[in-house]
Chain A
Amino acid sequence: MEIIVKATGLKKYYGEGEALVKALDGVDLEIERGKFTAIVGTSGSGKSTLLNMLGGLDVPDEGSVRIGSQELSRLNAEQATIFRRKQIGFIFQNYNLVPVLTVWENIIFPISLDGRKPDRKFIMDIVKLLGLESKLDSFPNQLSGGQQQRAAIARALATKPSIILADEPTGNLDSGTSDDVVSLLKMSGSQFHQTIVMITHNPEIAARADRVIQIEDGRIAYVSANICD
């Protein structure tokens, strides 16, 4: 199988002396194209730091990340931003919708920033899939949490990224909605051939992934391949 994400020797330390925190302490990781990977771990274990580094939001003290054939450390901040908005779809626990934009505007926001025209038909397919047709002209604060997260998912998918990185997308949702969101992600992932990396606390959700990686104290503690799918 093709390796789409490859992290080597990632290290990130904060503070110094007694207050030194090893957020990441030597992580090596490979993720295959088209797979759904779940990252689990206790809070403060370094999973968010890892995800941010995979997406180029954060820069490691040591080590490197390669996405496809692109070495992220070779990009300057500006290039990294552009690479990110083209190649990676982010989904956050707090949705990160722009409050002054409507749902539709939020969805096409990264594409417009790139100066591209949105693929209207493609995006409408996603919108329908996520059941957001009637909410396109609403502002985020008029939506429920589940609806907001679906809008965020639509935004992440709209750029046709090869990878979707999701940081506890269900963290603020009730269990029913959580299930729906994960199902939608999986469905769209398989439909659009995308690689999904998702942080979660929820063992049930982790159980639905192709592979589960457990992080403790900044290191990979355990990797398991689920066979149920």
Chain B
Amino acid sequence: MFRPISVISRRSFQKNKGRNLVAAIAIVLTTLMFTTLFVLSQSMNKNIVEMTFRQTGYDAQASFQSITGEQADAVASHPEVKEVGNSLVAGLAQDKRISGRQVEIRWADESYAAHSFALPTVGRMPESPDEIALDTIVLDRLGVSHELGSQVTIGWIADFVSKEEVTSTFTLCGFWEGNESSYASMAWVGEDFAREAAFAGESNSEAIAGKRMAQVSLYSERDIAGTMDRILSDVGIDGLEYSVNLAYSPEMNRMAAQESLPMYAGMVLVFLAGYLIIYNIFQISVTADIQFYGKLKTLGMTKRQLKKLIYMQAGRLCLVGIPVGLLLGYVLGAVLVPVLISFQTGSVSANPVIFVGSALFAGLTVLVSCMRPAKLAGKVSPIEALRYNDAEESNRHRRKKRQGSASVPALAWSNLGRNRKRTVILVCSLTLGLVLMSCFYAKNVSFDMEKYLAGLTIADYQIDEATSEDYMAGYDPQGSTLDDRLVRLIESMDGLEETGHLYSHETEIALNSRTVENIQGFYAGERLNEWAAYDAAGVEAMRSAVENKKASSVIYGIDGIPLDVYGGETYWENGSFDEALFAAGGYVLAIGPGMETGIQKQAMPTVSVGDTVSIEGREYTVMAVLNNLQPVTEGAKENGAQDAFYLDFIMPAETFRECWPDNTLRKLYFNVGDDKMDEVQEKLDGYFAETGLTLSVTSRKSMEEQYERETRAGAVMGNAISVVIALVGVLNFINSMVTSIVSRKKEFAMMQSVGMTKSQLCKLLVFEGLDYTVLTLSVTYVLSALAVGVGVRAMVEGGFSTFRFTLLPLVLCTPILAGLAILVPYLCFRNLEKDSLTERLRSTD
């Protein structure tokens, strides 16, 4: 059976190779961008979910912190439960070599280990009491080689009250790759070993040893709390406390969706860029072939059949372009994922959604782009087609008012006006990419590292006592890791510019009525609701503090760098700071919550300036109220748990040492000359290697690097997309210019036959190209200046940025575009000249 439309579609497709190549490249680029965006957003999603699993420590739906073996078995037998994993806690590792990392010593069944991402990949789970399985992080910290059968000696404690340390030696029977983002490492031991430890700890209710925990995997992820309640009541143990894995909360999905938001914006841009070029290509080719379509209509092809013909051509191009685009896009995405995802090792998602979605979006872009050209082809009148030329209809009725001069530049300019719609599309296409590029660049250079770092670190280096950030066991105010030896080592280094010290002590203070009022006034309305939504226990603690007029308090003793920084006005909320008066003692500074400065009108939720506070028997006057400064206040509380309401104070380090002479240094800050950075790092590394200590060192440099890792995502993404869009614009530009010259072959031959010289023709073409460029660049400069000056300025306001007006990418692109505008017409001219004048005059397409 002869199918005329598909035969014509197929054969004319083969005929127009050059044109199809350009269209196919446009489709490939469009698909590539869609696929890359899809890969990135899907991988982002996947990694966020994985990261949350790691942080919560498991990927089952719910867990019990305390359950008996019988109860666990009962839950496991419920039909809605897929699997229950069991674990028995033996204790916590307590070892200098692994300080700062929580290592839980437990027995677990395979299910529990697997759902905790801690199933040995080499070897097996322990069976006998002298076996242990560990992750590589702990092995490395302990200095044990990754080999089954290695001897592992580890110090640990079974209960937190006596804190009695025990040292045991095990044989390594299995290990797996550790993950830094999980909250703790597991050390699996045999069941008998754990039982024995549990028995020993049973006498003490504060002991953690002997706690039996379980993780429940359900068949459905829907309404986990409801299902759990139903299960518990079915097996007759309602009320048993359980927690739902945070990773399954709707909040998580919302967060993941939010992370993908820039991707959606990117997709809109890609769609726009794809539309501008594909539409233009089809419009040009339909216009060029309009007589052909007119002929087909004369012969009886209907509007619908003509449209079908255009869509079939587009379909053919998609069949070639989309698979190539998918492939290239996936590869590009896979390369970009590790760059983009800083918080994880970054696995690349191969979700079929990526391919189906990208193909659909690319196909949709092509379809939408073809709609107008198809309509144009469909409504061709058989009579019109016979006298159709490249100009728009409406121009015919317009008359030139002035007697136009026939100079070459004037002719070139009027040629641009012959097809206004195409000129507009072309200018838009190029402008889109260039404006985007300018915006991304301006946004990136506006970032001010100093402003950003100011909130995070106040010194070149900050060294913390090992337990300072131990949120489980709590900070030990008499900890010995940040000892005199280390302090002397640092303070004797040459190139040292400044130092600072921080001590802390936890106590309880009484609240006067003014303070209570401040607290109640501050935590009210929306702010209170917001707080309650994510931290109900915190609100409860605040209420009980208000009721009992008593609050917990951390007293910080500081001198040097942190005090200098606090002396700056940025952190002042109320009162004024008199350095000499403060140093003399008798005064404290109160710390408010970390709020955006200057926004709130209410009093800070703490004591008022001028009040007297009694701290462990001594009276102090409140000199000022300050905003929270993270590098000072960050860290664990002494008991680890934080369900208490705190009002914190600052006093001079000297006064602090008088009050609590036994407390050791918690944080050491110091600045060194820029040229000494490497030397300092070397010294610290040497010290840690020698002592086997691992203290947290925060350096300005590492923060800078961390920032760059975290924000590379946006930067790379933005730049990549805007560059590809600009490329698409350039492709569009070249294609339009080439086709507009080729389609006027005969017209040029005619002009030459009546006396236009070769050099005049060449000049005409170059002028046309330059006119396009001048037009595009003027529009681009104006729009970019507006977008950068208004849009980017507003966007970076308030962030860690100092706005700087720049159009550097445009300035760099200007000569490139100008070069293209000259080169492309020139090459086309050379190509025209290959055929003789008479040949061209006689040619009938």
- Does B474 touch A at the CB level, under 8 Å? no
Report Cα–Cα, A78/B5, bound state, in Å: 17
Report Cα–Cα, A153/B3, bound state, in Å: 21
Known contacts A57-B382, A81-B303, A82-B302: A100-B15 contact under CB 8 Å: yes
- Does B4 touch A at the CB level, under 8 Å? yes
Q: Report whether B299 and A98 are in contact in the complex, using a CB–CB cutoff of 8 Å.
A: yes
Report Cα–Cα, A105/B299, bound state, in Å: 13
Question: CB-CB < 8 A to B297: which residues of A?
Answer: 81
Q: Report whether A98 and B302 are in contact in the complex, using a CB–CB cutoff of 8 Å.
A: no
Most buried by A among B12, B15, B298: B298
Q: How far is the CB of B17 from chain A (nearest CB, A)?
A: 14
- Does A221 touch B at the CB level, under 8 Å? no
Question: CB-CB < 8 A to A85: which residues of B?
Answer: 299-300
- Does A77 touch B at the CB level, under 8 Å? yes
Report Cα–Cα, A113/B295, bound state, in Å: 14
Number of interface residues of B (CB under 8 A): 24
Minimal Cβ-Cβ distance residue in B for A114: B300
Known contacts A57-B382, A81-B303: A90-B4 contact under CB 8 Å: no
Q: Mark B286-304, 1 if CB is under 8 A from A, else 0.
A: 0000000001111111111
- Does A110 touch B at the CB level, under 8 Å? yes
Known contacts A84-B300, A98-B296: A113-B4 contact under CB 8 Å: yes
B367-384 CB contacts (< 8 Å) to partner A: 379, 382-383
Known contacts A98-B8, A100-B15, A105-B4: A113-B301 contact under CB 8 Å: yes
Q: Mark A89-124, 1 if CB is under 8 A from B, else 0.
A: 010100010101100010011101110011000000
Report Cα–Cα, A122/B300, bound state, in Å: 20
Most buried by B among A57, A58, A100: A100
Q: Report whether B2 and A108 are in contact in the complex, using a CB–CB cutoff of 8 Å.
A: yes
Report Cα–Cα, A84/B383, bound state, in Å: 14
Q: Report whether A78 and B303 are in contact in the complex, using a CB–CB cutoff of 8 Å.
A: yes
Question: CB-CB < 8 A to A84: which residues of B?
Answer: 300
Question: CB-CB < 8 A to B8: which residues of A?
Answer: 98, 100-101
Minimal Cβ-Cβ distance residue in A for B383: A58
Question: CB-CB < 8 A to B1: which residues of A?
Answer: 117
Most buried by B among A90, A98, A155: A98
Report Cα–Cα, A90/B304, bound state, in Å: 21
Question: CB-CB < 8 A to A78: which residues of B?
Answer: 302-304
Report Cα–Cα, A96/B386, bound state, in Å: 11
Q: Report whether A113 and B383 are in contact in the complex, using a CB–CB cutoff of 8 Å.
A: no
Report Cα–Cα, A84/B305, bound state, in Å: 15
Question: CB-CB < 8 A to B379: which residues of A?
Answer: 77
Q: Report whether B298 and A96 are in contact in the complex, using a CB–CB cutoff of 8 Å.
A: yes
Most buried by A among B1, B11, B15, B299: B299
Known contacts A81-B303, A113-B300: A96-B12 contact under CB 8 Å: no
Q: How far is the CB of B614 from chain A (nearest CB, A)?
A: 95
Known contacts A105-B4, A105-B7, A112-B3: A81-B383 contact under CB 8 Å: no
Question: CB-CB < 8 A to B302: which residues of A?
Answer: 78, 81-82, 113
Report Cα–Cα, A100/B605, bound state, in Å: 84
Q: Report whether B300 and A81 are in contact in the complex, using a CB–CB cutoff of 8 Å.
A: yes
Report Cα–Cα, A117/B2, bound state, in Å: 9
Q: How far is the CB of A185 from chain B (nearest CB, A)?
A: 18
Minimal Cβ-Cβ distance residue in B for A106: B299
Report Cα–Cα, A108/B303, bound state, in Å: 19
Question: CB-CB < 8 A to B15: which residues of A?
Answer: 100
- Does A178 touch B at the CB level, under 8 Å? no
Report Cα–Cα, A118/B3, bound state, in Å: 12
Q: Report whether A77 and B303 are in contact in the complex, using a CB–CB cutoff of 8 Å.
A: yes
Q: How far is the CB of B420 from chain A (nearest CB, A)?
A: 23
Most buried by A among B3, B296, B300, B302: B300
Q: How far is the CB of A46 from chain B (nearest CB, A)?
A: 13
Question: CB-CB < 8 A to B382: which residues of A?
Answer: 52, 57
Report Cα–Cα, A13/B517, bound state, in Å: 91
Minimal Cβ-Cβ distance residue in A for B12: A100
Known contacts A58-B383, A108-B2: A90-B299 contact under CB 8 Å: yes
Question: CB-CB < 8 A to B11: which residues of A?
Answer: 100-101
Q: How far is the CB of B304 from chain A (nearest CB, A)?
A: 7
Q: How far is the CB of A34 from chain B (nearest CB, A)?
A: 23
Q: SS class of chain B's interface: helix, strand, loop or mixed?
A: helix
Q: How far is the CB of A142 from chain B (nearest CB, A)?
A: 14
Q: SS class of chain A's interface: helix, strand, loop or mixed?
A: helix
Report Cα–Cα, A92/B385, bound state, in Å: 14
Q: Report whether A109 and B304 are in contact in the complex, using a CB–CB cutoff of 8 Å.
A: no
Minimal Cβ-Cβ distance residue in A for B379: A77
Report Cα–Cα, A66/B348, bound state, in Å: 69
Report Cα–Cα, A155/B12, bound state, in Å: 21
Report Cα–Cα, A108/B2, bound state, in Å: 9
Question: CB-CB < 8 A to A110: which residues of B?
Answer: 299-300
Question: CB-CB < 8 A to A105: which residues of B?
Answer: 2, 4, 7
Question: CB-CB < 8 A to A113: which residues of B?
Answer: 4-5, 299-302, 305
Report Cα–Cα, A101/B1, bound state, in Å: 14
Q: Report whether B295 and A98 are in contact in the complex, using a CB–CB cutoff of 8 Å.
A: yes
Q: Report whether A57 and B299 are in contact in the complex, using a CB–CB cutoff of 8 Å.
A: no
Q: How far is the CB of A156 from chain B (nearest CB, A)?
A: 10
Question: CB-CB < 8 A to B5: which residues of A?
Answer: 113
Minimal Cβ-Cβ distance residue in A for B845: A99
A54-76 CB contacts (< 8 Å) to partner B: 57-58
Report Cα–Cα, A118/B301, bound state, in Å: 16
Q: How far is the CB of A123 from chain B (nearest CB, A)?
A: 12
Q: How far is the CB of B53 from chain A (nearest CB, A)?
A: 59
Question: CB-CB < 8 A to B295: which residues of A?
Answer: 96, 98
Q: How far is the CB of B290 from chain A (nearest CB, A)?
A: 14
A115-144 CB contacts (< 8 Å) to partner B: 117-118
Q: Report whether A112 and B304 are in contact in the complex, using a CB–CB cutoff of 8 Å.
A: no
Q: How far is the CB of A114 from chain B (nearest CB, A)?
A: 7
Report Cα–Cα, A32/B710, bound state, in Å: 86
Question: CB-CB < 8 A to A101: which residues of B?
Answer: 4, 7-8, 11
Question: CB-CB < 8 A to A81: which residues of B?
Answer: 297, 300-303
Question: CB-CB < 8 A to A118: which residues of B?
Answer: 2
Q: How far is the CB of A28 from chain B (nearest CB, A)?
A: 22
B266-320 CB contacts (< 8 Å) to partner A: 295-305
Q: How far is the CB of B374 from chain A (nearest CB, A)?
A: 15
Report Cα–Cα, A105/B383, bound state, in Å: 24
Q: Report whether A57 and B7 are in contact in the complex, using a CB–CB cutoff of 8 Å.
A: no
B222-267 CB contacts (< 8 Å) to partner A: none
Report Cα–Cα, A92/B301, bound state, in Å: 16
Question: CB-CB < 8 A to B3: which residues of A?
Answer: 112
Minimal Cβ-Cβ distance residue in B for A86: B300
Q: Report whether A109 and B4 are in contact in the complex, using a CB–CB cutoff of 8 Å.
A: yes
Q: How far is the CB of A159 from chain B (nearest CB, A)?
A: 8
Q: How far is the CB of A138 from chain B (nearest CB, A)?
A: 14
Q: Report whether A96 and B304 are in contact in the complex, using a CB–CB cutoff of 8 Å.
A: no
Question: CB-CB < 8 A to A100: which residues of B?
Answer: 7-8, 11-12, 15
Question: CB-CB < 8 A to B299: which residues of A?
Answer: 85, 90, 96, 98, 109-110, 113, 155
Report Cα–Cα, A105/B8, bound state, in Å: 10
Report Cα–Cα, A82/B299, bound state, in Å: 10
Q: How far is the CB of B845 from chain A (nearest CB, A)?
A: 10
Question: CB-CB < 8 A to B301: which residues of A?
Answer: 81, 113
Report Cα–Cα, A50/B382, bound state, in Å: 15
Report Cα–Cα, A71/B452, bound state, in Å: 80
Q: Mark B1-25, 1 if CB is under 8 A from A, else 0.
A: 1111101100110010000000000
3 cross-chain pairs, A with B, having the tightest CB-CB distances, nearest first: A85-B300, A100-B11, A110-B300
Given contacts A57-B298, A77-B303, 14 further A-B contacts (CB under 8 A): A77-B379, A78-B304, A98-B8, A100-B11, A100-B12, A101-B4, A105-B7, A108-B2, A109-B4, A110-B300, A112-B4, A113-B301, A113-B305, A118-B2
Can you show 27 pairs from A to B with CB atoms below 8 A apart?
A52-B382, A57-B298, A57-B382, A81-B297, A81-B300, A81-B301, A84-B300, A90-B298, A90-B299, A96-B298, A98-B8, A98-B295, A98-B296, A98-B299, A100-B7, A101-B8, A101-B11, A108-B2, A109-B299, A110-B300, A112-B3, A113-B4, A113-B5, A113-B300, A113-B301, A113-B305, A117-B1
